Structure 1
Amino acid sequence: MRRINKNDEKKQKVSLLPKTISIGFFGGLIWSTVAAFAGFFHFTTITPKSFVLRSWLQNSWSDQWTGELLSIIVISILSIGLACLYYLMLKKFNGILPGIITGIALWFIVFWLMKPLFSNIPAFFELDSDTIVTTMCLFILYSVFIGYSISFAYQQHFGENN
């Protein structure tokens, strides 16, 4: 007869929601910061502030570092929702391929479907190739980070309990 350990009972009761929230927040924080640096070093003309602030605000502060910092924080908070959505739909898929596919899909959603919301972003055919490649790679890296982290946490948590 197998004896039930108190730690096993606690592990089964623990939800992965706090871990998913932290993965989403830090994924947004890390990769939007990388995007801001990519804009600073002219790898891309589109930075986090281009989406979050500059499409609606034309104040001088929104085009400076304070606007970029506020945009990074907003993207980090929005990223929590994306991480929870990924957890609900794709948590059982292992590897980086689901993250790559999700990143490409997310890029097309933002740059094609949501384009009317972002008046500050040029149309796809007006973007230079450096911006397209850099932003596509950043979206893929972000999604791979989120996807791999969530699926790893899920497999580690429920793989040990089975």
Structure 2
Amino acid sequence: MAEKKETDKLEQNQKEKPIPFLLNVVLTGFIGGVLWSGIAYFTYIFHFTTISPNIFFEPWAAGEWKDSWIGILLSIIGYGIVSIGAALIYYGLFRKLRSMWVGAAYGIGLFLIVILLLNPLFKSMKSLTELDINTLITCVCIYLLYGVFIGFSISYEEEERMNQEQQQGKDVSQN
């Protein structure tokens, strides 16, 4: 009996404490925002889109700094922070729906919100009908993939959490 207690205390026999689910959603949102806005920046550099990532600061920041590397970096981090909100909304509404298509539709919905509703905030961004086809296709694809990333990550984690709870319930009932 004493040997069992000692082996339970060993580091290799300790189970990792899982990250709280809400913290995981926040991390997923931030990483998704940084990742996909970084990819969007590369599409801007290679002229697949005419929408610059530093458009993020357009409504409230003045100065030339936002066109420099620091402005781009801060814009990407800003998208990560805003993306936390988008991930929390997905968590609240759709986390139990484990389908790639739900995430894709969420991404398209976000694209439409940004292009149609938030467009007046960004003076340098053209309206939906004025965007060239390359910009339109690139932006739709980035938002779609962002939605799939957020949606599938959150839904997968929700399903894993539910499976662990069910497994723990079975283990308790068997003892």
TM-score, L = length of structure 2 = 0.81
Is it true that 1:131 corresponds to 2:135 in the alignment? yes
In structure 1, what is the equivalent of residue 43 of structure 2? Answer: 38
Is it true that 1:93 corresponds to 2:97 in the alignment? yes
Q: CA deviation at 1:74?
A: 0.6
Is it true that 1:145 corresponds to 2:149 in the alignment? yes
Q: How do residues 109-124 of structure 1 correspond to structure 2 at under 5 angstroms?
A: 109-124=113-128
Q: How many residues align?
A: 152
Assess if the C-alpha contact under 8 Å between 1:54 and 1:63 holds in 2.
no
Of 63, 88, 98, 2:67 maps to 63
Distance 1:155 1:149 in 2: 10
Distance 1:86 1:160 in 2: 22
Assess if the C-alpha contact under 8 Å between 1:24 and 1:83 holds in 2.
yes
In structure 1, what is the equivalent of residue 10 of structure 2? Answer: none
In structure 1, what is the equivalent of residue 29 of structure 2? Answer: 24
Q: CA deviation at 1:47?
A: 2.6
Distance 2:145 2:52 in 1: 15
Letter in 2 for 1:150: I
Letter in 2 for 1:30: L
Of 102, 105, 112, 2:106 maps to 102
* Residue aligned with 1:121, SS: coil
For the pair shown, the structure with the greater C-alpha radius of gyration is 2
Distance 2:128 2:61 in 1: 22
Letter in 2 for 1:98: V
Q: CA deviation at 1:122?
A: 1.2
Unaligned runs of 5+ in 1: 1-6
Assess if the C-alpha contact under 8 Å between 1:53 and 1:71 holds in 2.
yes
Deviations 1:135-155 (A, max 9, x none): 110001111000000000000
Letter in 1 for 2:92: L
* Residue aligned with 1:122, SS: coil
Deviations 1:37-96 (A, max 9, x none): 11011110113212x123444522211222111100111011111111101110001121
Letter in 1 for 2:53: P
Q: Percent identity?
A: 39
- My pick for the range that moved more, 122-131 or 133-142, is 122-131
Structure number with the bigger relative contact order (C-alpha 8 A, sep ≥ 6) is 1
